[in-house]
């Protein structure tokens, strides 16, 4: 079976045009409060974005900016490890995820919203064979459980189709293997297969290519793009690699110190970044042309502020060469700039950075 047929068989829902469809995910002023023993801190603070069917939103930024915590908050996986408090709304299929019970969340996770974690070796059970793990995922999220034997037979076939869909050819060997017997790239493909097997409407991929070599990384990105094109699933892709965002994103959202500071269509973002932090990130990417002006890499001065000592105004102000008194005292909102409503920046002096 070809990978295209396998993907088509996995997801039967029709694909709606992005422009005409309702958002599959709408995050509005999301805040995550954690108690440190001294006071509450907000590692996710006022995050807002939407994702449409068939669309890829790349969440980019330095390590520690809040990207992964945003994803875990949307999936409500933080509260399983710590005492937390939520503010804002996370709307999925007209339901506010933050108000659902744990049983309702358990039903939602995997079947409608799936997550591809960053570390496949920690996500896969080391003592259970791949075939059994795929089958368990499918059975757990089966929409019709009238006949468990029938469901098991159906998802045994779906497991094979899912592996073919993610480009795995030696299906029998992989199904009978333990995770440690497979390469990192193969493990990541298996996690993607687990994500699509229950036909979700949204996939959250947290740094899915970080630990992979360049060739395998490119293969995984192409795989995600092909799956998305054929199934219409929305994709929230978390990465610190701007090259990855340039390759796969429809829109880019830049996070800094727990907040989104810029959001724009991918072409507009790379052609005309508006926030000084975004410009700093782009300038820090080394050029393949090299030359005497590239003897040293450009770096953003300073460091990300502690959550226990955030600046009063713009959180990037202590590191920003454009900062004025207003930047130090007043925090800017994320708002549309110039004549477009699709390019947003949280900055008092957008577009002035050379």
What average pLDDT is seen over the chain?
85
- In this structure, what token pair is assigned to residue 67? 């990207």
* Residue 295 and residue 325 in contact, taking contact as beta carbons nearer than 8 Å: no
Mean pLDDT (whole number) for 10-20 = 39
Cα(211)–Cα(216) distance, integer angstroms = 10
Three-state DSSP at 215 gives helix
Q: Is the pLDDT of residue 145 over 80?
A: no
What is residue 278's predicted lDDT score, i.e. its pLDDT? 96
Three-state DSSP at 319 gives helix
What is residue 294's predicted lDDT score, i.e. its pLDDT? 57
Q: What one-character DSSP code corresponds to residue 17?
A: P
Cα(317)–Cα(303) distance, integer angstroms = 11
What is residue 272's predicted lDDT score, i.e. its pLDDT? 93
Least confident of 17-21, 190-194, 217-221, 238-242: 17-21
In the chain, the percentage of residues whose pLDDT exceeds 70 is 88
What is residue 9's predicted lDDT score, i.e. its pLDDT? 37
pLDDT winner (highest mean) among 74-88, 209-223, 307-321: 307-321
Q: Is the pLDDT of residue 262 over 70?
A: yes
Contacts of 222 (CB under 8 A, 6+ apart): none
Q: Can you give 218-256 as a three-state secondary structure string?
A: HHHHHHHHHHHHHHCCEEEEECCCHHHHHHHCCEEEEEE
Residue 299 has φ and ψ, to the nearest 5°, of: -135, 150
What is residue 13's predicted lDDT score, i.e. its pLDDT? 32
> How many CB atoms are closer than 10 A to CB 48?
17
Cα(208)–Cα(238) distance, integer angstroms = 8
* Residue 70 and residue 59 in contact, taking contact as beta carbons nearer than 8 Å: yes
What is residue 151's predicted lDDT score, i.e. its pLDDT? 65
What is residue 16's predicted lDDT score, i.e. its pLDDT? 36
Give pLDDT tens digits for 17-34: 355 578 999 999 999 999
Mean pLDDT (whole number) for 337-347 = 86
Angstrom distances, CA of residue 15 to CA of 49, 56, 221: 21, 14, 20
Cα(187)–Cα(184) distance, integer angstroms = 5
pLDDT confidence band for 82 (50 / 70 / 90): confident
Q: Is the pLDDT of residue 6 over 50?
A: no
Mean pLDDT (whole number) for 268-275 = 94
pTM of the model: 0.87
- In this structure, what token pair is assigned to residue 114? 């799936």
| CATH hierarchy code of domain 3-249 | 3.40.50.300
Length of the chain: 354
Cα(259)–Cα(63) distance, integer angstroms = 13
Burial pattern 312-323, b for ≥16 Cβ within 10 A else e, equals ebbbbbbbbebb
Residue with tokens 């017997």: 181
Residue spans of the domains in the chain: they are 3-249, 273-345
pLDDT confidence band for 334 (50 / 70 / 90): very high
Q: Is the pLDDT of residue 3 over 70?
A: no
- In this structure, what token pair is assigned to residue 105? 């969340």
Contacts of 105 (CB under 8 A, 6+ apart): 76, 97
> How many CB atoms are closer than 10 A to CB 268?
15
pLDDT confidence band for 142 (50 / 70 / 90): low
What is residue 5's predicted lDDT score, i.e. its pLDDT? 41
Task: Give 42 or 199, the one with higher predicted confidence.
Answer: 42
Mean pLDDT (whole number) for 97-111 = 90
């Amino acid at each position: 079976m070809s990978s295209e047929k396998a993907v088509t068989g996995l997801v039967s829902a029709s694909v709606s045009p992005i422009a005409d469809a309702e958002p599959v995910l709408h995050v509005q002023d999301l805040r995550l409060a954690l108690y440190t023993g001294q006071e509450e801190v907000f590692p996710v603070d006022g995050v807002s974005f939407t994702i449409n069917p068939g669309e890829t939103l790349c969440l980019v930024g330095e390590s520690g900016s809040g990207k992964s915590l945003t994803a875990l908050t949307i999936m409500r996986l933080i509260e399983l490890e710590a005492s937390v408090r939520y503010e804002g709304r996370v709307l999925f299929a007209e339901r506010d995820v933050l108000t659902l019970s744990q049983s309702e969340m358990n039903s939602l996770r995997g079947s409608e919203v799936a997550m591809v974690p960053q570390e496949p070796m920690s996500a896969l059970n080391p003592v259970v064979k791949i075939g059994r793990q795929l089958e368990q995922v499918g059975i757990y999220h089966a929409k019709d459980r009238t006949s468990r034997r029938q469901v098991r037979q159906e998802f045994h076939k779906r497991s094979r189709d899912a592996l073919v869909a993610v480009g795995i050819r030696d299906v029998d060997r992989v199904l009978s293997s333990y995770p440690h017997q497979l390469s990192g790239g193969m493990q990541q493909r298996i996690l993607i297969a687990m994500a699509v097997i229950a036909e979700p409407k949204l996939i959250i991929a947290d740094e899915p290519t970080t630990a992979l070599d360049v060739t395998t990384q490119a293969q995984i990105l192409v795989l995600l793009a092909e799956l998305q094109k054929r199934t219409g699933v929305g994709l929230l892709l978390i990465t610190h690699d701007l090259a990855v965002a340039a390759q796969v994103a429809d829109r880019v959202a830049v996070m800094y110190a727990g907040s989104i500071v810029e959001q724009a269509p991918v072409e507009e973002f790379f052609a005309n970044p508006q926030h000084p932090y975004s410009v700093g990130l782009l300038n820090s990417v080394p050029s393949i042309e090299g030359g005497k002006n590239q003897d040293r890499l450009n770096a953003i001065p300073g460091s990300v502020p502690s959550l226990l000592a955030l600046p009063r105004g713009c959180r990037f102000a202590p590191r920003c060469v454009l900062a004025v008194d207003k930047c130090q005292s007043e925090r800017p909102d994320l708002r549309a700039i110039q004549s477009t409503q699709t390019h947003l920046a949280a900055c008092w002096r957008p577009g002035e950075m050379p």
